[in-house]
Structure 1
């Protein structure tokens, strides 16, 4: 008998929780880095003092981290509710139209390359227990593994900490140095280095070109800096 095969789809499902965590970290850090860098540069260009810039930046960090964390919590809750609703639907179909569900199990095994006898044996095994049957259909037909559902509070915490971490490079210089010009220079340098490093990290995890990944994140941050400078000068001109 040939060994049970694992489809590329189920392989993707197994790695989904880790992929989501990586996505949350990258998204959160990048959001904090880009948004706070743009804000710091913008308010600096409007000729605010170092203390005012720091207060504005901290307020923005708090607002952004709370908003992103709560948004992540709500989206995770919605996702989990969808998963559970799909399981209820599959369980109902197993009870109401078992013949069609058995045919679907057989077609899945045939697609994986099993012989006719193996398909019959595996189908009997799966369909002998309705919970196992439903879990199989959830994974193979819908790509959902209930054991991999995220904890909403954990996801929210990860997102919140990621946003705060991304906000540190453009904010810390204003904590350390009260000279606005010096602090702004260091904020831009640190934000640029952090953006490039984040892109490299993302590329290493995704096994893509680290140079391309680093430059992508660097240019996004550079755009935020340019827009921040333009907005800051415009705001400064309007207020004077």
Structure 2
């Protein structure tokens, strides 16, 4: 039996803790951030012009419905565009490794040169890739063009994720108007819970992507608060001049 000698500096296997920002996370961020900000600004703006919480709720729900559809459609078209672009570029690469083999070989060497790998060291890799055209195309798509193959049904899932996230975010600033009859009180409650939700959302986003939870929280709160303040001020001014 052989014993494995361990260095005194060995602390077990190294596990890297990188966060991979998936498309789903990106869609949730897009939907929630817009869902929290736009209906919040609309409700605050209407509060400066009308005295009825009922009108604010109806307008807010209409905006959430329209906004979720528009945002979901935008996500669907963007994902479809990414998928179509990937397929188009892949077909082009498949043609080029046959019709312009020498150029593609040189591009392989250029890619490795970016990582300080000599031509002599890259030759075995190129020879192996040439034996497997599919792998060669995969390599070029990833390292030359920086493109990853989109997941199946990506467009539909993106649309649904963004739309649901928008609705979930949009309902938060409207809750006080649904529960409280007094418009001014509802506005104050809406400001508090929405800014709190923006802060929590921003902190979680910053922690996930590694940009710093405090900075991200402050940034999100400032953007959402500024949008609502501008909308409320403009509505108040327009309402005053129209009287």
Please give the TM-score of this superposition, normalised by the length of structure 1: 0.86
- Alpha-carbon distance between aligned partners in 2 of 1:124 and 1:109, rounded to the nearest angstrom: 14
- Alpha-carbon distance between aligned partners in 1 of 2:63 and 2:150, rounded to the nearest angstrom: 36
The runs of 5 or more residues in structure 1 that have no matched partner are 1-14
Alignment counterpart, residue 170 of structure 1, candidates 165, 168, 173 = 173
Report if the CA contact (8 A) 2:109-2:119 is conserved. Answer: no
Alignment counterpart, residue 110 of structure 2, candidates 107, 114, 118 = 107
Moved segments of 4+, more than 6 Å = none
* Number of equivalent positions: 226
The CA RMSD measured in Å over matched residues stands at 2.1
- Residue 21 of structure 2: SS of its match in structure 1? helix
Aligned to 1:233: 236
Aligned to 1:53: 56
The runs of 5 or more residues in structure 2 that have no matched partner are 1-17
Aligned to 1:7: none
1:4-33 CA-partner distances (Å, limit 9, x unpaired): xxxxxxxxxxx9983433332222211111
Report if the CA contact (8 A) 2:72-2:163 is conserved. Answer: yes
- Alpha-carbon distance between aligned partners in 2 of 1:45 and 1:19, rounded to the nearest angstrom: 40
Deviation at 1:68, TM superposition (A): 0.4
Deviation at 1:238, TM superposition (A): 4.5
Aligned to 2:217: 214
- Alpha-carbon distance between aligned partners in 2 of 1:54 and 1:239, rounded to the nearest angstrom: 23
Alignment counterpart, residue 125 of structure 1, candidates 120, 123, 128 = 128
